[in-house]
Amino acid sequence: MIRPILRHGADALHCSAAPVGDLTDTVQTLIDDMIDTMYAAPGVGLAAPQVGVGLRLFVADPSSGRSTGDLHVVINPELVETDGSQREEEGCLSLPGFTGQVTRPARVVITGLDREGSALRVEGEGLLARVLQHEMDHLDGNLFVDRLHGIRRDLIVRRVRKLQRRGKW
């Protein structure tokens, strides 16, 4: 089932999420819904706070469903390795219409649990590395705009506030 995606300004997007406990049917349904919602958007990643659930869990697929085996479901992720640097244009389903140049490590390794509760290790370079870090940021209440500096950040925040005031956000 597709769930509504919250936008910048919604409380759930700007606070830290709690670790996932037992992998209950409710959590499994949430994961299924997040996958459906990400592909329908379409997007390359979606974190639980974006559908209003304050749990440390995200789904990611840099191919956006075009190639099988690219889907990652990561529960309680931890960043364990970073290397290098990349600077690319980044967007977010919670900030439709806005993008920014964000500098991030070029390669990361994260650990966590898969949806069966088994230990998981994901190594990513390039776009996958970027998506993994972007989604992990959501679990700490940060959007890509929070990683921008100066006027670019102010510009986006001002435009969002204007849209909110007009009821168009």
List interacting residues with Ni ion (CB under 5 A).
Answer: 92
Select 27 or 48, whichever has its Cβ closest to Ni ion.
Answer: 48
Select 57 or 92, whichever has its Cβ closest to Ni ion.
Answer: 92
Q: How far is the CB of 121 from Ni ion (least distance, A)?
A: 23
Q: Nearest residue to Ni ion, using CB?
A: 92
Q: Is 135 a catalytic residue?
A: yes
Catalytic residue among 81, 89, 90, 135: 135
In three state form, how does the secondary structure of the chain look? CCCCCCCCCCHHHHCCCECCCCCCHHHHHHHHHHHHHHHHCCCCEEEHHHHCCCECEEEECCCCCCCCCCCEEEEEEEEEEEECCEEEEECCCCCCCCCEEEEECCEEEEEEECCCCCEEEEEEEHHHHHHHHHHHHHHCCCCHHHHCCHHHHHHHHHHHHHHHHCCCC
Q: How far is the CB of 90 from Ni ion (least distance, A)?
A: 8
Select 43 or 112, whichever has its Cβ closest to Ni ion.
Answer: 43
Q: How far is the CB of 112 from Ni ion (least distance, A)?
A: 18
Q: How far is the CB of 118 from Ni ion (least distance, A)?
A: 26
Task: Give per-residue burial for 92-111: e unless 16+ CB within 10 Å, then b.
Answer: bbbbeebebebebbbbbbbe
Select 24 or 101, whichever has its Cβ closest to Ni ion.
Answer: 101
Catalytic center residues: 135
